[in-house]
Structure 1
Amino acid sequence: MIENAKKVLKTNVNVAEGEKLAIIIDSTKREAGELFYQAGKEIGAETVLIQFESSGKSGAEPPSIVADAMKNCDAALCITEASISHTKARIEAAKCNTRVATMPGLTLDMLREGALTADYSDVKKNGNLLAKVLDEGKEVVIRTEGQTLTFSIDGRRSKASNGLLVNPGDSGNLPSGETFIAPIEGTANGEIIIDGSIADIGKVAQRVLLKIREGRLVEAEGAEGEELLRLLGDGNGRLVGEFGIGTNRAARLTGTILEDEKVYGTCHIAFGTNTSFGGTINAGIHLDAVTKTPEIYVDGKLIIAEGKIRIE
């Protein structure tokens, strides 16, 4: 396990002897954190382990002392239950040239198999193909079991998260493998079926129908849909903030959104904060919902179908 953690630190985060490495955890991730702490020490990095009590809400800011630590190191691994990927703390750390890997929901099983074991050159290739299409596109149409959701991406830039955080200021999820973009606020309309998983809830027991009007989630069917609405609250948390496509062939649908949203050929819609990647929504929360086999069109061209990327 420690050898696998060392491989992640070296290959994905480029941690070297003598560098300052911060392993940041909440109380639920002590065992995983200690593995990476030991791995960092064996590499020869100046390694510290910092634990804080999480609010349990993805998108919430960590304590200021944690944010300060993230800005004052060469690399930071954030191994938490609730995600801090879309926070000011992560953005400011990257601006200070810290290489930041966010690993919300990481399990020990992921160190043995799954998305972390991917061929990241293939992940990069898939991600860049999709990024080119999204960056040049204006309108996205998602079809799921007879339901259709449309929104504009005109003028927005996508991000291909390929899991190689090797340069100063690089940041992203680990394990990784998604290309995502912030839809134009207020343009999303229609319905989408969620049959994979939902962040902070897990795998859905039965499909959840989400109804979206003028960029806002207005209805979600079923018990898990009601729980999603409760978690998002009544404010900006219900605004459509992200559209993403999974690009990692090794990723599995496990009920942990960190890996689920990376599964090759899936898509996810997220609600809440998107200021960290080009949007204007600040909600203090960011929750993703995964669809397993969507049909996705950009400007009328089919790019995803039957779990495969259809771009030549």
Structure 2
Amino acid sequence: MRDLLKGARIAVKTCMGVRRGESVLVVTDSPRLKIAEALLKAARAAGAEATLICMQTLSRHGEEPPEVVASAMRAVDVVLAPTTYSLTHTQARHQACRAGARIATMPMITEDMMRRGAMLANYRKVNRRTKKMAALLSRASEVEVNSPTGTELSLSLKGREAHSDTGIFHQPGDFGNLPAGEAFIAPVEGIAEGRAVVGGSMVGFPRETVEIIIKKGMASKISGAHAAKLKKLLKAVGPKAYNLAELGVGTNPKARLIGNIIEDEKVLGTCHIALGDNSTFGGKVRAGVHIDGIILRPTVKLDEKIMMRRGRLMV
């Protein structure tokens, strides 16, 4: 466990700002238990009243946890959730934040990710960059995304507010991922058009790509070597799973492309889209699933201003 404690201390002290006497809940499942135990130890060392819940592994990102877990999340000051599947876009997380909890979800995090890479970033610098990118997204009405691999996508952001996953969650209701580092927004539903070519980490095959055709804000065609896995998951959830839910921009210079979406989407110089639920960050679709896909070396144009050109920030 000792080699996991550096990342755990960063999560507890720097990112969550845990103070003596606060209540901390660590929510996990069996595959992430060692990471959870390191976080528990770091929280107790910080003087917190810390508890660990190990639940049964869920079946997909965005699935609601058991009510006993959701209830516990609403009753504490801080939640750290190293789990196999993400609790970020769940009503359990949303309601806990409304109750005042500070929450860091850590889906698919590995022991290697606790030791190196994005988790060890200077989060104060990530915080500043991320807030700047979010402000630019919030001011934009239209966005175009292109990439050398064939992405040609247009979206409307009119009236939508971007969010900052900064890695600094010190105020009641703050939430985000750890490792952190993205600015993200829910595009206006029913408007996006074009083609997105995303990395295969979306479906567990990072060396491959998946092509998604978007019509009227919905994924209408999905192709690629392992597209069947994604199509099967979306079909099982239902029509709302095909919603183009998110546009995000990575802001963490320590993040690596490792085939794990929770770190891949934070890589500085990338952007990502997601399908499914956006109800917890300003959208109108509640789908019970949220799946991200990375776009490499993108050019991102906000109205008439180039935000990123072939993976290089221009602002």
State the TM bucket, normalised to the shorter chain. Answer: over 0.9
Aligned in 2, Cα 1:175/1:147: closer, same or farther, shift over 3 Å? Answer: closer
Choose which of 9, 17, 23 in structure 1 pairs with 2:12: 9
| Cα-to-partner distance string for 1:96-129 (whole Å, 9 max, x where unaligned) | 1111110001111112111111122221222122
Corresponding residue number in structure 2 for 1:219? 221
> What amino acid sits opposite 2:52 in the alignment?
L
1:221 alignment partner, SS class: strand
Shift of the alpha carbon at 1:203?
Answer: 4.3
Which structure 2 segments of 5+ residues have no match?
none
Choose which of 276, 286, 301 in structure 2 pairs with 1:272: 276
Cα distance in 1 between the residues matched to 2:274 and 2:304: 23
Which structure 1 segments of 5+ residues have no match?
none
Choose which of 109, 112, 115 in structure 1 pairs with 2:112: 109
Corresponding residue number in structure 2 for 1:95? 98
Shift of the alpha carbon at 1:196?
Answer: 5.8
Choose which of 188, 209, 215 in structure 2 pairs with 1:207: 209
Aligned Cα RMSD in Å? 1.3
> What amino acid sits opposite 1:197 in the alignment?
S
Tell whether the 8 Å contact from 1:203 to 1:254 is kept in structure 2 after alignment. Answer: no
| Cα-to-partner distance string for 1:60-99 (whole Å, 9 max, x where unaligned) | 1000000011011110101101101001110111111111
1:131-146 equivalences in 2 (<5 Å) = 131-145=134-148, 146=150
Aligned in 2, Cα 1:61/1:25: closer, same or farther, shift over 3 Å? Answer: same
Choose which of 298, 302, 306 in structure 2 pairs with 1:298: 302
Cα distance in 1 between the residues matched to 2:67 and 2:187: 30
Shift of the alpha carbon at 1:55?
Answer: 2.4
1:72 corresponds to 2:80: no
Cα distance in 2 between the residues matched to 1:259 and 1:222: 23
Corresponding residue number in structure 2 for 1:184? 188
2:154 alignment partner, SS class: strand
Corresponding residue number in structure 1 for 2:167? 163
TM, length-normalised to structure 1: 0.96
Corresponding residue number in structure 1 for 2:25? 22
2:226 alignment partner, SS class: helix
TM, length-normalised to structure 2: 0.95
1:129 corresponds to 2:132: yes
> What amino acid sits opposite 1:181 in the alignment?
I
Corresponding residue number in structure 2 for 1:247? 251
Corresponding residue number in structure 2 for 1:230? 232
Corresponding residue number in structure 1 for 2:261? 257
1:2 alignment partner, SS class: helix
- Give the total of aligned pairs: 309
2:274 alignment partner, SS class: strand
Cα distance in 2 between the residues matched to 1:301 and 1:21: 43
Shift of the alpha carbon at 1:158?
Answer: 0.2
| Cα-to-partner distance string for 1:279-299 (whole Å, 9 max, x where unaligned) | 000111000001111111111
Cα distance in 1 between the residues matched to 2:301 and 2:38: 42
The percentage of counterpart residues that share the same residue type is 38
Tell whether the 8 Å contact from 2:147 to 2:310 is kept in structure 1 after alignment. Answer: no
